[in-house]
Amino acid sequence: AQSVTQLGSHVSVSEGALVLLRCNYSSSVPPYLFWYVQYPNQGLQLLLKYTTGATLVKGINGFEAEFKKSETSFHLTNPSAHMSDAAEYFCAVSDWVLRFGAGTRLTVKP
C-alpha cells in the first residue's frame, strides 16, 4: 500500500524565513500527492496537490511543492514565513483513499 513519511514532527522558523517541510512517499503506482493544512481547532484544508504534469505545484498562501520521482519526495516550501502560517501540515498519498503522514507542526517566531 502507498504511504508517506514526514521528516520532523516540529519545525520552528522566524517570520520572513524560508519554510521547508519534508515528505517522502512510497507508492507502487504513479503517486498522487497532497499537502493539507490544519489551523488550530479546525478541519484540514487542501494546500496543493500533484497528479500528473508539471512537477512544481503552487498552492495557496505562497506555498509550493516539487515532485521528485528520483528522490521519492514531495517537500513543501514557502520562501517567507508569516505568523499566520503557524499550523500543522500533513502530506498524503492517494491510491483509492487518502493516506496521511504523521504531520509536522510549524511554529513561526516573531
Give the cell for residue 36: 493539507
Q: Between 51 and 80, whose beta carbon lies closer to other proteins?
A: 51
* Contact of 25 with 72, CB cutoff 8 Å: yes
Beta-bridge partner residues of 38: 44, 88
**99 contributes a contact to other proteins by CB under 8 A:** yes
**51 contributes a contact to other proteins by CB under 8 A:** yes
Closest CB 87 distance from other proteins, rounded Å:
14
Q: What is the full DSSP assignment across 5-64?
A: EEE-SEEEEETTS-EEEEEEEE-SS--EEEEEEE-TTS-EEEEEEE-SS-SEEE-GGG-E
Q: Between 43 and 110, whose beta carbon lies closer to other proteins?
A: 43
**55 contributes a contact to other proteins by CB under 8 A:** no
Part in contact with other proteins (CB under 8 A); list of ranges 14-22, 30-38, 53-61, 69-77: 30-38
Provide the binding-site residues for other proteins, judged by CB under 8 A. Answer: 6, 9, 32, 34, 36, 41-46, 49, 51, 90, 94-103
